[in-house]
Structure 1
Amino acid sequence: MEVVEASIVSKTGDPQTCEDRYCVTEHYACVIDGATDVSGNRYNGRTSGQVVAGVIAETIPLLPAGADIEEVIGIINEALLRYYDANGMYDAVRESPYTRPTAAMILYSRSRHTVWMVGDCQCMIDEEEQTNPKIVDDIIANTRSLFLEAEMLKGKTIEELLERDTGFEAVRPFIQMQYYMQNLPEPHPYGYAAVTGFPFDLGQIKTVQLRPDACSLALASDGYPFIRPTLQQSEDALQDILKRDPLCFREYKLAKGLVKGNASFDDRTYVRLRLQPR
Protein backbone atom coordinates (compact mmCIF):
# COMPACT_ATOMS: atom_id res chain seq x y z
CA MET A 1 0.00 0.00 0.00
CA GLU A 2 1.09 3.54 -0.71
CA VAL A 3 0.17 6.78 1.09
CA VAL A 4 -1.37 9.08 -1.52
CA GLU A 5 -2.08 11.95 0.85
CA ALA A 6 -2.25 12.53 4.58
CA SER A 7 -3.08 15.45 6.85
CA ILE A 8 -3.41 16.14 10.56
CA VAL A 9 -4.70 19.50 11.79
CA SER A 10 -5.27 20.74 15.34
CA LYS A 11 -8.57 22.41 16.14
CA THR A 12 -6.67 25.27 17.76
CA GLY A 13 -4.23 25.69 14.88
CA ASP A 14 -1.38 24.76 17.24
CA PRO A 15 0.02 21.25 16.54
CA GLN A 16 1.14 21.02 20.18
CA THR A 17 -2.48 20.78 21.33
CA CYS A 18 -3.53 18.08 18.85
CA GLU A 19 -4.99 14.86 20.28
CA ASP A 20 -5.12 13.00 16.93
CA ARG A 21 -2.33 10.80 15.59
CA TYR A 22 -1.84 8.54 12.60
CA CYS A 23 0.61 5.79 11.76
CA VAL A 24 1.32 3.92 8.52
CA THR A 25 3.69 0.95 8.42
CA GLU A 26 4.35 -1.85 5.96
CA HIS A 27 1.50 -3.86 7.46
CA TYR A 28 -0.91 -1.39 9.07
CA ALA A 29 -2.49 2.02 8.64
CA CYS A 30 -4.15 3.64 11.63
CA VAL A 31 -5.89 6.89 12.55
CA ILE A 32 -6.25 7.55 16.28
CA ASP A 33 -8.54 10.12 17.84
CA GLY A 34 -7.70 10.85 21.46
CA ALA A 35 -10.89 11.93 23.24
CA THR A 36 -11.10 15.61 24.17
CA ASP A 37 -10.07 15.98 27.80
CA VAL A 38 -12.88 17.03 30.18
CA SER A 39 -11.12 16.30 33.47
CA GLY A 40 -8.52 19.07 33.34
CA ASN A 41 -5.80 16.60 34.34
CA ARG A 42 -2.36 16.68 32.71
CA TYR A 43 0.16 13.85 32.52
CA ASN A 44 3.74 14.98 31.95
CA GLY A 45 2.28 18.12 30.41
CA ARG A 46 0.00 16.18 28.04
CA THR A 47 -3.77 15.76 27.99
CA SER A 48 -5.25 12.31 28.41
CA GLY A 49 -6.13 12.28 24.70
CA GLN A 50 -2.53 12.99 23.75
CA VAL A 51 -1.30 10.26 26.10
CA VAL A 52 -3.49 7.49 24.72
CA ALA A 53 -3.06 8.52 21.07
CA GLY A 54 0.71 8.68 21.48
CA VAL A 55 1.00 5.25 23.10
CA ILE A 56 -1.18 3.64 20.41
CA ALA A 57 0.80 5.28 17.58
CA GLU A 58 4.05 4.03 19.09
CA THR A 59 2.63 0.49 19.47
CA ILE A 60 1.25 -0.02 15.94
CA PRO A 61 4.72 -0.60 14.39
CA LEU A 62 5.32 -3.37 16.96
CA LEU A 63 2.25 -5.41 15.97
CA PRO A 64 2.82 -8.80 14.29
CA ALA A 65 1.98 -8.62 10.59
CA GLY A 66 -0.95 -11.04 10.64
CA ALA A 67 -2.43 -10.22 14.05
CA ASP A 68 -6.18 -10.54 14.54
CA ILE A 69 -8.10 -7.83 16.37
CA GLU A 70 -8.02 -9.68 19.70
CA GLU A 71 -4.22 -9.76 19.61
CA VAL A 72 -4.04 -6.13 18.42
CA ILE A 73 -6.21 -4.83 21.28
CA GLY A 74 -4.36 -7.03 23.78
CA ILE A 75 -0.97 -5.62 22.77
CA ILE A 76 -2.23 -2.01 22.79
CA ASN A 77 -3.90 -2.44 26.19
CA GLU A 78 -0.72 -3.90 27.67
CA ALA A 79 1.26 -0.91 26.38
CA LEU A 80 -1.23 1.52 27.91
CA LEU A 81 -1.26 -0.23 31.28
CA ARG A 82 2.54 -0.17 31.36
CA TYR A 83 2.44 3.57 30.70
CA TYR A 84 -0.14 4.15 33.45
CA ASP A 85 1.90 2.13 35.93
CA ALA A 86 5.20 3.79 35.02
CA ASN A 87 3.69 7.27 35.38
CA GLY A 88 1.75 6.72 38.60
CA MET A 89 -1.62 6.94 36.85
CA TYR A 90 -2.99 3.44 37.21
CA ASP A 91 -5.03 3.76 40.41
CA ALA A 92 -6.57 7.08 39.37
CA VAL A 93 -7.68 5.96 35.91
CA ARG A 94 -8.95 2.62 37.20
CA GLU A 95 -11.14 4.27 39.82
CA SER A 96 -12.42 7.23 37.77
CA PRO A 97 -13.59 6.26 34.26
CA TYR A 98 -14.11 9.87 33.13
CA THR A 99 -10.42 10.64 33.76
CA ARG A 100 -9.32 7.59 31.78
CA PRO A 101 -7.32 8.30 28.61
CA THR A 102 -9.68 7.29 25.82
CA ALA A 103 -9.34 6.96 22.06
CA ALA A 104 -11.32 5.99 19.02
CA MET A 105 -9.26 4.11 16.46
CA ILE A 106 -9.59 2.90 12.90
CA LEU A 107 -7.03 0.32 11.81
CA TYR A 108 -6.38 -1.30 8.44
CA SER A 109 -4.54 -4.62 8.31
CA ARG A 110 -2.82 -5.19 4.98
CA SER A 111 -2.37 -8.94 5.50
CA ARG A 112 -6.03 -9.43 6.46
CA HIS A 113 -7.35 -6.78 4.02
CA THR A 114 -9.66 -5.70 6.85
CA VAL A 115 -10.62 -2.46 8.58
CA TRP A 116 -11.45 -2.45 12.29
CA MET A 117 -13.34 0.50 13.76
CA VAL A 118 -13.32 1.15 17.51
CA GLY A 119 -15.53 4.09 18.40
CA ASP A 120 -16.54 7.03 16.22
CA CYS A 121 -14.32 7.02 13.14
CA GLN A 122 -14.88 6.66 9.41
CA CYS A 123 -13.42 5.31 6.21
CA MET A 124 -14.05 5.27 2.48
CA ILE A 125 -13.31 2.17 0.43
CA ASP A 126 -13.10 3.36 -3.17
CA GLU A 127 -16.30 5.47 -3.00
CA GLU A 128 -18.16 3.45 -0.33
CA GLU A 129 -18.45 5.27 3.01
CA GLN A 130 -18.35 3.43 6.35
CA THR A 131 -19.11 5.14 9.68
CA ASN A 132 -19.43 4.00 13.29
CA PRO A 133 -21.51 6.55 15.24
CA LYS A 134 -22.39 6.39 18.97
CA ILE A 135 -25.93 6.93 20.24
CA VAL A 136 -24.63 8.82 23.30
CA ASP A 137 -23.08 11.40 20.97
CA ASP A 138 -26.44 11.98 19.30
CA ILE A 139 -28.18 12.40 22.66
CA ILE A 140 -25.64 14.92 23.95
CA ALA A 141 -25.54 16.79 20.64
CA ASN A 142 -29.32 17.17 20.58
CA THR A 143 -29.37 18.25 24.23
CA ARG A 144 -26.81 20.96 23.47
CA SER A 145 -28.78 21.98 20.37
CA LEU A 146 -31.94 22.42 22.44
CA PHE A 147 -30.06 24.49 25.02
CA LEU A 148 -28.51 26.76 22.38
CA GLU A 149 -31.83 27.24 20.58
CA ALA A 150 -33.25 28.42 23.91
CA GLU A 151 -30.28 30.75 24.37
CA MET A 152 -30.96 32.25 20.95
CA LEU A 153 -34.63 32.78 21.81
CA LYS A 154 -33.51 34.53 25.01
CA GLY A 155 -31.51 36.98 22.90
CA LYS A 156 -28.03 35.51 22.63
CA THR A 157 -26.26 35.86 19.27
CA ILE A 158 -24.09 33.42 17.35
CA GLU A 159 -21.09 35.70 17.95
CA GLU A 160 -21.69 35.69 21.70
CA LEU A 161 -21.98 31.91 21.77
CA LEU A 162 -18.79 31.52 19.75
CA GLU A 163 -17.09 33.53 22.51
CA ARG A 164 -18.64 31.41 25.27
CA ASP A 165 -20.40 28.17 24.36
CA THR A 166 -22.92 27.88 27.17
CA GLY A 167 -24.36 24.83 25.42
CA PHE A 168 -21.09 22.95 25.88
CA GLU A 169 -20.99 24.07 29.51
CA ALA A 170 -24.49 22.66 29.96
CA VAL A 171 -23.65 19.22 28.52
CA ARG A 172 -20.20 18.86 30.10
CA PRO A 173 -21.63 16.77 32.99
CA PHE A 174 -23.27 14.46 30.45
CA ILE A 175 -19.94 14.07 28.62
CA GLN A 176 -18.29 13.10 31.89
CA MET A 177 -21.08 10.64 32.72
CA GLN A 178 -20.95 9.00 29.31
CA TYR A 179 -17.60 7.46 30.23
CA TYR A 180 -19.49 5.13 32.57
CA MET A 181 -21.16 3.71 29.45
CA GLN A 182 -17.81 2.92 27.88
CA ASN A 183 -16.56 -0.68 27.61
CA LEU A 184 -19.38 -2.20 29.67
CA PRO A 185 -19.15 -5.98 30.22
CA GLU A 186 -22.79 -6.51 29.16
CA PRO A 187 -24.78 -5.07 26.23
CA HIS A 188 -26.34 -1.71 27.05
CA PRO A 189 -28.44 0.67 24.92
CA TYR A 190 -25.95 3.49 25.54
CA GLY A 191 -22.82 1.37 25.62
CA TYR A 192 -19.87 1.85 23.28
CA ALA A 193 -16.30 0.66 22.82
CA ALA A 194 -13.13 2.71 23.19
CA VAL A 195 -9.44 2.03 23.59
CA THR A 196 -8.43 2.81 27.19
CA GLY A 197 -6.04 0.06 28.26
CA PHE A 198 -8.88 -1.84 29.95
CA PRO A 199 -10.78 -4.84 28.51
CA PHE A 200 -13.98 -4.50 26.53
CA ASP A 201 -16.32 -6.63 24.45
CA LEU A 202 -14.59 -7.04 21.10
CA GLY A 203 -17.99 -7.68 19.56
CA GLN A 204 -18.55 -3.91 19.70
CA ILE A 205 -15.79 -3.40 17.14
CA LYS A 206 -17.08 -2.81 13.62
CA THR A 207 -15.25 -5.04 11.15
CA VAL A 208 -15.21 -4.28 7.43
CA GLN A 209 -13.74 -6.84 5.05
CA LEU A 210 -12.51 -5.10 1.91
CA ARG A 211 -13.33 -6.48 -1.52
CA PRO A 212 -10.37 -8.22 -3.17
CA ASP A 213 -10.34 -5.61 -5.95
CA ALA A 214 -10.50 -2.54 -3.66
CA CYS A 215 -8.06 0.09 -4.96
CA SER A 216 -8.38 3.04 -2.57
CA LEU A 217 -8.87 3.36 1.17
CA ALA A 218 -9.26 6.61 3.13
CA LEU A 219 -9.27 6.69 6.94
CA ALA A 220 -10.38 9.71 8.97
CA SER A 221 -11.19 10.85 12.48
CA ASP A 222 -14.56 12.42 13.22
CA GLY A 223 -13.04 15.89 12.95
CA TYR A 224 -14.32 15.63 9.39
CA PRO A 225 -18.13 15.84 9.31
CA PHE A 226 -18.13 13.77 6.12
CA ILE A 227 -15.37 11.66 4.63
CA ARG A 228 -14.90 12.12 0.90
CA PRO A 229 -12.75 10.35 -1.73
CA THR A 230 -10.00 13.00 -1.47
CA LEU A 231 -8.55 15.21 1.26
CA GLN A 232 -9.57 18.39 -0.57
CA GLN A 233 -13.17 17.24 -0.91
CA SER A 234 -13.25 16.35 2.80
CA GLU A 235 -11.80 19.76 3.67
CA ASP A 236 -14.37 21.50 1.44
CA ALA A 237 -17.22 19.67 3.20
CA LEU A 238 -15.84 20.71 6.59
CA GLN A 239 -15.38 24.35 5.61
CA ASP A 240 -18.93 24.44 4.27
CA ILE A 241 -20.26 23.33 7.68
CA LEU A 242 -18.03 25.80 9.54
CA LYS A 243 -19.37 28.60 7.34
CA ARG A 244 -23.05 27.72 7.54
CA ASP A 245 -23.29 26.28 11.09
CA PRO A 246 -20.16 27.27 13.06
CA LEU A 247 -21.72 26.38 16.41
CA CYS A 248 -22.62 22.92 15.06
CA PHE A 249 -26.10 22.90 16.58
CA ARG A 250 -28.43 22.99 13.59
CA GLU A 251 -27.24 21.39 10.36
CA TYR A 252 -24.48 19.29 11.92
CA LYS A 253 -25.18 18.76 15.61
CA LEU A 254 -22.27 18.07 17.95
CA ALA A 255 -21.44 18.25 21.65
CA LYS A 256 -19.21 21.22 20.85
CA GLY A 257 -18.86 23.75 18.08
CA LEU A 258 -16.31 26.16 16.77
CA VAL A 259 -14.64 28.33 19.42
CA LYS A 260 -13.75 31.84 18.29
CA GLY A 261 -10.09 31.89 17.23
CA ASN A 262 -9.91 28.15 16.57
CA ALA A 263 -9.50 26.48 13.18
CA SER A 264 -12.34 23.98 13.67
CA PHE A 265 -14.54 22.26 16.25
CA ASP A 266 -12.17 19.27 16.59
CA ASP A 267 -8.77 17.97 15.61
CA ARG A 268 -8.91 16.20 12.27
CA THR A 269 -6.87 13.53 10.49
CA TYR A 270 -7.17 12.08 6.99
CA VAL A 271 -5.04 9.39 5.36
CA ARG A 272 -5.65 8.01 1.87
CA LEU A 273 -3.95 4.85 0.66
CA ARG A 274 -3.55 3.27 -2.75
CA LEU A 275 -4.09 -0.46 -2.39
CA GLN A 276 -2.86 -3.23 -4.64
CA PRO A 277 -5.95 -5.21 -5.74
CA ARG A 278 -5.82 -8.86 -4.76
Structure 2
Amino acid sequence: MPLSRTGPTLWRTSVAKARSVSDGMQIIEQFLQGKDGPRSCEDIIYTSEDFIAVIDGESAKSSICFDGQRPGKLAAQMIQQVLADLHPRASYSQFIQEVNLSIRDYYAAKAIDPKLKAVGLQAVAVIYSRNRQEIWLIGDCQALVDGQLYQKARPADQVLAHMRRLIAYTEMRIDQKKPAIYFDQEDSARLQILPWLVRASEFANQSDSPYGYAILNGDPIPADLIQIIPVGRKDSVEIVLASNGYPELAPSLEASENKLQELLAADPHLIDQHIATRGQGQSASFDDRAYVRFRV
Protein backbone atom coordinates (compact mmCIF):
# COMPACT_ATOMS: atom_id res chain seq x y z
CA MET A 1 0.00 0.00 0.00
CA PRO A 2 1.53 3.38 -0.94
CA LEU A 3 1.73 6.24 1.49
CA SER A 4 -1.48 8.24 1.30
CA ARG A 5 -3.09 11.31 2.81
CA THR A 6 -6.37 11.59 4.64
CA GLY A 7 -7.77 13.97 7.21
CA PRO A 8 -7.46 17.77 7.61
CA THR A 9 -6.10 20.01 4.87
CA LEU A 10 -3.57 21.75 7.10
CA TRP A 11 -0.66 21.03 4.77
CA ARG A 12 2.51 23.11 4.74
CA THR A 13 4.77 20.47 3.18
CA SER A 14 4.11 17.68 0.71
CA VAL A 15 4.23 14.00 1.53
CA ALA A 16 7.30 12.38 0.01
CA LYS A 17 6.51 10.08 -2.90
CA ALA A 18 6.89 6.43 -1.94
CA ARG A 19 6.51 3.03 -3.50
CA SER A 20 4.11 0.43 -2.23
CA VAL A 21 5.15 -1.31 0.98
CA SER A 22 4.11 -4.83 1.83
CA ASP A 23 2.51 -4.31 5.23
CA GLY A 24 1.21 -0.78 4.69
CA MET A 25 2.00 2.68 6.07
CA GLN A 26 -0.65 5.35 5.73
CA ILE A 27 0.00 9.01 6.45
CA ILE A 28 -3.14 10.42 8.06
CA GLU A 29 -2.05 14.04 8.51
CA GLN A 30 1.08 16.13 8.79
CA PHE A 31 1.91 19.75 9.46
CA LEU A 32 5.06 21.86 9.43
CA GLN A 33 5.21 25.44 10.71
CA GLY A 34 8.28 27.61 11.21
CA LYS A 35 7.98 30.03 14.09
CA ASP A 36 9.37 32.78 11.83
CA GLY A 37 8.25 31.43 8.46
CA PRO A 38 9.18 28.53 6.18
CA ARG A 39 12.63 29.78 5.11
CA SER A 40 14.05 29.71 8.62
CA CYS A 41 12.23 26.57 9.79
CA GLU A 42 14.67 24.05 11.28
CA ASP A 43 12.15 21.20 11.56
CA ILE A 44 11.82 18.59 8.80
CA ILE A 45 9.30 15.81 8.22
CA TYR A 46 10.76 12.88 6.27
CA THR A 47 8.67 10.07 4.80
CA SER A 48 9.66 7.08 2.66
CA GLU A 49 8.61 3.45 2.30
CA ASP A 50 11.01 2.47 5.09
CA PHE A 51 11.27 5.43 7.48
CA ILE A 52 9.05 8.20 8.80
CA ALA A 53 10.79 10.85 10.86
CA VAL A 54 10.60 14.26 12.47
CA ILE A 55 13.97 16.00 12.57
CA ASP A 56 14.45 19.10 14.75
CA GLY A 57 17.53 21.21 14.12
CA GLU A 58 18.97 22.81 17.23
CA SER A 59 17.88 26.45 17.58
CA ALA A 60 20.70 28.88 16.92
CA LYS A 61 22.42 30.27 20.00
CA SER A 62 24.89 32.41 18.07
CA SER A 63 25.11 34.27 14.75
CA ILE A 64 27.33 31.59 13.19
CA CYS A 65 26.21 30.23 9.80
CA PHE A 66 27.58 27.44 7.62
CA ASP A 67 27.27 27.88 3.85
CA GLY A 68 24.77 30.64 4.50
CA GLN A 69 22.53 28.52 6.70
CA ARG A 70 21.94 28.30 10.42
CA PRO A 71 23.62 25.20 11.90
CA GLY A 72 20.37 23.57 13.01
CA LYS A 73 18.79 23.80 9.58
CA LEU A 74 21.88 22.42 7.85
CA ALA A 75 22.15 19.58 10.39
CA ALA A 76 18.48 18.66 9.82
CA GLN A 77 19.02 18.59 6.06
CA MET A 78 22.07 16.36 6.46
CA ILE A 79 20.11 13.92 8.61
CA GLN A 80 17.31 13.90 6.04
CA GLN A 81 19.84 12.87 3.38
CA VAL A 82 21.24 10.15 5.64
CA LEU A 83 17.74 8.68 5.99
CA ALA A 84 17.25 8.81 2.23
CA ASP A 85 20.47 6.79 1.75
CA LEU A 86 20.09 4.51 4.77
CA HIS A 87 19.70 0.75 4.29
CA PRO A 88 16.09 -0.28 5.06
CA ARG A 89 17.27 -2.77 7.70
CA ALA A 90 19.71 -0.39 9.38
CA SER A 91 19.69 -0.23 13.17
CA TYR A 92 19.52 2.95 15.20
CA SER A 93 23.25 2.66 15.95
CA GLN A 94 24.04 2.42 12.22
CA PHE A 95 21.87 5.47 11.61
CA ILE A 96 23.73 7.46 14.27
CA GLN A 97 27.06 6.31 12.86
CA GLU A 98 26.10 7.54 9.38
CA VAL A 99 24.93 10.89 10.73
CA ASN A 100 28.15 11.35 12.68
CA LEU A 101 30.25 10.52 9.63
CA SER A 102 28.36 13.13 7.61
CA ILE A 103 28.87 15.81 10.25
CA ARG A 104 32.54 15.01 10.78
CA ASP A 105 33.18 14.90 7.02
CA TYR A 106 31.53 18.31 6.65
CA TYR A 107 33.65 19.80 9.43
CA ALA A 108 36.81 18.36 7.84
CA ALA A 109 35.93 19.56 4.34
CA LYS A 110 35.22 23.09 5.58
CA ALA A 111 38.18 23.11 8.02
CA ILE A 112 35.80 24.08 10.85
CA ASP A 113 37.27 24.27 14.34
CA PRO A 114 35.81 21.41 16.44
CA LYS A 115 35.68 23.84 19.36
CA LEU A 116 32.62 25.39 17.67
CA LYS A 117 30.67 22.19 18.33
CA ALA A 118 28.62 23.84 21.09
CA VAL A 119 27.08 26.17 18.48
CA GLY A 120 27.66 23.93 15.46
CA LEU A 121 25.70 21.25 13.62
CA GLN A 122 23.20 19.75 16.05
CA ALA A 123 19.77 18.17 15.77
CA VAL A 124 17.45 15.70 17.45
CA ALA A 125 15.08 13.27 15.79
CA VAL A 126 12.34 10.71 16.28
CA ILE A 127 12.26 8.00 13.61
CA TYR A 128 9.98 5.07 12.82
CA SER A 129 11.68 2.13 11.10
CA ARG A 130 9.17 -0.05 9.22
CA ASN A 131 11.56 -2.97 8.90
CA ARG A 132 12.71 -2.85 12.52
CA GLN A 133 9.18 -2.09 13.77
CA GLU A 134 10.53 0.37 16.29
CA ILE A 135 10.78 4.07 17.00
CA TRP A 136 14.13 5.70 17.75
CA LEU A 137 13.74 8.68 20.08
CA ILE A 138 17.00 10.65 20.02
CA GLY A 139 16.73 13.86 22.02
CA ASP A 140 13.67 15.86 23.02
CA CYS A 141 11.28 15.07 20.18
CA GLN A 142 8.05 13.23 21.02
CA ALA A 143 6.08 10.14 20.03
CA LEU A 144 2.55 8.89 20.67
CA VAL A 145 1.94 5.19 20.10
CA ASP A 146 -1.75 4.31 20.32
CA GLY A 147 -2.17 7.23 22.71
CA GLN A 148 0.86 6.52 24.94
CA LEU A 149 3.27 9.45 25.13
CA TYR A 150 7.05 9.06 24.93
CA GLN A 151 9.36 12.03 25.45
CA LYS A 152 12.67 12.84 27.08
CA ALA A 153 13.09 16.45 28.12
CA ARG A 154 16.56 17.95 28.40
CA PRO A 155 17.33 18.27 32.15
CA ALA A 156 19.38 21.48 31.92
CA ASP A 157 16.66 23.17 29.85
CA GLN A 158 14.16 22.48 32.63
CA VAL A 159 16.46 24.13 35.18
CA LEU A 160 17.20 27.12 32.92
CA ALA A 161 13.52 27.57 32.10
CA HIS A 162 12.86 28.08 35.80
CA MET A 163 15.88 30.39 35.99
CA ARG A 164 14.46 32.49 33.15
CA ARG A 165 11.16 32.67 35.02
CA LEU A 166 12.90 33.76 38.22
CA ILE A 167 14.87 36.47 36.40
CA ALA A 168 11.77 37.73 34.60
CA TYR A 169 9.64 37.94 37.74
CA THR A 170 12.47 39.55 39.72
CA GLU A 171 13.13 42.23 37.11
CA MET A 172 9.41 42.91 36.60
CA ARG A 173 9.02 43.46 40.34
CA ILE A 174 12.10 45.70 40.59
CA ASP A 175 11.13 47.75 37.54
CA GLN A 176 7.39 47.60 38.35
CA LYS A 177 6.54 46.39 34.87
CA LYS A 178 3.76 44.18 33.66
CA PRO A 179 4.74 41.21 31.45
CA ALA A 180 3.42 42.90 28.30
CA ILE A 181 5.80 45.84 28.88
CA TYR A 182 8.74 43.75 30.12
CA PHE A 183 8.67 41.45 27.08
CA ASP A 184 7.72 44.17 24.60
CA GLN A 185 11.11 44.62 22.90
CA GLU A 186 13.39 41.80 23.97
CA ASP A 187 13.40 38.91 26.39
CA SER A 188 16.00 40.10 28.89
CA ALA A 189 15.67 36.93 30.94
CA ARG A 190 16.29 34.78 27.86
CA LEU A 191 19.42 36.77 27.03
CA GLN A 192 20.73 36.20 30.56
CA ILE A 193 20.33 32.41 30.44
CA LEU A 194 21.64 32.13 26.86
CA PRO A 195 25.31 31.66 27.90
CA TRP A 196 24.22 28.82 30.17
CA LEU A 197 22.23 27.22 27.37
CA VAL A 198 25.49 27.09 25.40
CA ARG A 199 27.55 25.92 28.39
CA ALA A 200 25.07 23.13 29.09
CA SER A 201 26.20 21.54 25.82
CA GLU A 202 29.06 20.13 27.91
CA PHE A 203 26.54 17.43 28.87
CA ALA A 204 25.72 16.50 25.26
CA ASN A 205 25.94 12.72 24.84
CA GLN A 206 27.36 12.31 28.35
CA SER A 207 25.64 9.63 30.41
CA ASP A 208 27.75 10.11 33.55
CA SER A 209 25.76 13.16 34.70
CA PRO A 210 22.14 13.86 35.66
CA TYR A 211 22.23 16.56 32.96
CA GLY A 212 23.27 14.26 30.13
CA TYR A 213 21.16 14.31 26.98
CA ALA A 214 21.23 12.84 23.48
CA ILE A 215 21.85 14.93 20.39
CA LEU A 216 23.11 14.25 16.88
CA ASN A 217 26.27 16.35 16.70
CA GLY A 218 29.04 14.10 15.34
CA ASP A 219 29.81 12.36 18.63
CA PRO A 220 28.84 8.83 19.75
CA ILE A 221 25.62 8.70 21.77
CA PRO A 222 25.45 6.36 24.79
CA ALA A 223 22.66 3.84 24.43
CA ASP A 224 21.14 4.76 27.79
CA LEU A 225 20.36 8.27 26.50
CA ILE A 226 18.30 6.89 23.60
CA GLN A 227 14.79 5.51 23.86
CA ILE A 228 13.88 2.60 21.57
CA ILE A 229 10.13 2.03 21.43
CA PRO A 230 9.00 -1.33 20.02
CA VAL A 231 5.93 -1.25 17.83
CA GLY A 232 4.43 -4.74 18.03
CA ARG A 233 2.66 -6.54 15.22
CA LYS A 234 -1.05 -5.81 15.46
CA ASP A 235 -3.81 -5.27 12.94
CA SER A 236 -3.16 -1.52 13.15
CA VAL A 237 -1.07 0.86 15.24
CA GLU A 238 -1.49 4.64 15.11
CA ILE A 239 1.63 6.70 15.69
CA VAL A 240 2.33 10.42 16.05
CA LEU A 241 5.84 11.82 15.75
CA ALA A 242 6.42 15.48 16.62
CA SER A 243 9.03 18.03 17.58
CA ASN A 244 8.97 19.76 20.96
CA GLY A 245 7.19 22.74 19.39
CA TYR A 246 4.07 21.10 20.79
CA PRO A 247 4.10 21.46 24.60
CA GLU A 248 1.13 19.10 24.85
CA LEU A 249 0.94 16.43 22.18
CA ALA A 250 -2.50 15.05 21.30
CA PRO A 251 -3.63 12.13 19.11
CA SER A 252 -4.80 14.53 16.36
CA LEU A 253 -3.28 17.58 14.71
CA GLU A 254 -6.35 19.68 15.41
CA ALA A 255 -6.27 18.88 19.13
CA SER A 256 -2.51 19.51 19.34
CA GLU A 257 -2.87 22.86 17.55
CA ASN A 258 -5.80 23.87 19.75
CA LYS A 259 -3.83 23.11 22.91
CA LEU A 260 -0.87 25.14 21.61
CA GLN A 261 -3.01 28.14 20.64
CA GLU A 262 -4.80 28.08 24.00
CA LEU A 263 -1.41 28.13 25.74
CA LEU A 264 -0.07 30.99 23.61
CA ALA A 265 -3.20 33.02 24.29
CA ALA A 266 -3.00 32.45 28.06
CA ASP A 267 0.78 32.49 28.56
CA PRO A 268 2.60 33.90 25.48
CA HIS A 269 5.81 34.49 27.45
CA LEU A 270 5.84 30.91 28.78
CA ILE A 271 6.57 31.81 32.37
CA ASP A 272 3.42 30.47 34.04
CA GLN A 273 1.48 27.57 32.54
CA HIS A 274 4.32 26.07 30.52
CA ILE A 275 7.73 27.27 31.72
CA ALA A 276 10.25 27.38 28.87
CA THR A 277 13.62 28.85 27.95
CA ARG A 278 11.92 31.35 25.62
CA GLY A 279 8.50 32.73 24.88
CA GLN A 280 6.54 33.52 21.75
CA GLY A 281 7.96 37.01 21.27
CA GLN A 282 7.07 38.41 17.85
CA SER A 283 6.95 34.94 16.29
CA ALA A 284 4.06 32.66 15.36
CA SER A 285 4.97 30.40 18.29
CA PHE A 286 7.83 29.81 20.71
CA ASP A 287 9.43 27.20 18.41
CA ASP A 288 9.18 25.57 15.00
CA ARG A 289 6.80 22.64 15.05
CA ALA A 290 6.37 19.45 13.05
CA TYR A 291 3.63 16.83 13.39
CA VAL A 292 3.02 13.64 11.45
CA ARG A 293 0.33 11.04 12.25
CA PHE A 294 0.31 7.71 10.48
CA ARG A 295 -0.98 4.16 10.71
CA VAL A 296 1.07 0.99 10.32
Q: State whether TM-score is above 0.5.
A: yes
Distance in 2 separating the partners of 1:23 and 1:108: 10
Runs of 4+ in 1 over 3 A off after TM superposition: none
Matches within 5 A, 1:105-120: 105-120=125-140
| 2:217 aligned residue | 196
Amino acid at match of 1:191: G
Asked whether the 8 Å contact 2:103–2:121 carries over to 1, the reply is no
Match of 1:75 among 98, 106, 113: 98
Match of 1:139 among 159, 164, 169: 159
Distance in 2 separating the partners of 1:177 and 1:43: 21
Distance in 1 separating the partners of 2:258 and 2:158: 24
Amino acid at match of 1:190: Y
Distance in 1 separating the partners of 2:177 and 2:44: 36
Asked whether the 8 Å contact 2:117–2:217 carries over to 1, the reply is no
| 2:15 aligned residue | none
Aligned residues: 269
Distance in 1 separating the partners of 2:145 and 2:125: 17
Matches within 5 A, 1:115-194: 115-154=135-174, 155-160=176-181, 161-184=183-206, 186-194=207-215
Distance in 2 separating the partners of 1:21 and 1:116: 16
Distance in 2 separating the partners of 1:212 and 1:79: 33
Change over 3 Å in CA distance of 1:162–1:125 after alignment to 2: farther
Matches within 5 A, 1:94-105: 94-105=114-125
Identity level (%): 29
Query: Given the alignment of the two structures, is residue 7 of structure 1 paired with residue 31 of structure 2, yes or no?
Result: yes
TM-score between both structures, scaled by the size of structure 1: 0.93
Q: Which has the higher contact order (CA 8 A, sep 6+)?
A: 1
Deviation at 1:97, TM superposition (A): 3.1
Query: Given the alignment of the two structures, is residue 23 of structure 1 paired with residue 43 of structure 2, yes or no?
Result: no
The Cα offsets for residues 108-144 of structure 1, whole Å up to 9 and x where unpaired, read as 1111110111111111112111111121111010100
Asked whether the 8 Å contact 2:58–2:72 carries over to 1, the reply is yes
Query: Given the alignment of the two structures, is residue 239 of structure 1 paired with residue 270 of structure 2, yes or no?
Result: no
| 2:66 aligned residue | 43
Change over 3 Å in CA distance of 1:97–1:83 after alignment to 2: closer
Deviation at 1:162, TM superposition (A): 4.0
Distance in 2 separating the partners of 1:38 and 1:75: 25
Unpaired stretches in structure 1, ≥5 consecutive residues: none
TM-score between both structures, scaled by the size of structure 2: 0.88
Aligned-residue CA RMSD (Å): 1.3
Asked whether the 8 Å contact 1:221–1:270 carries over to 2, the reply is yes
1:115 aligned counterpart, secondary structure: strand
1:71 aligned counterpart, secondary structure: helix
Distance in 2 separating the partners of 1:202 and 1:85: 26
Change over 3 Å in CA distance of 1:162–1:270 after alignment to 2: farther
Distance in 1 separating the partners of 2:231 and 2:184: 41
2:198 aligned counterpart, secondary structure: helix
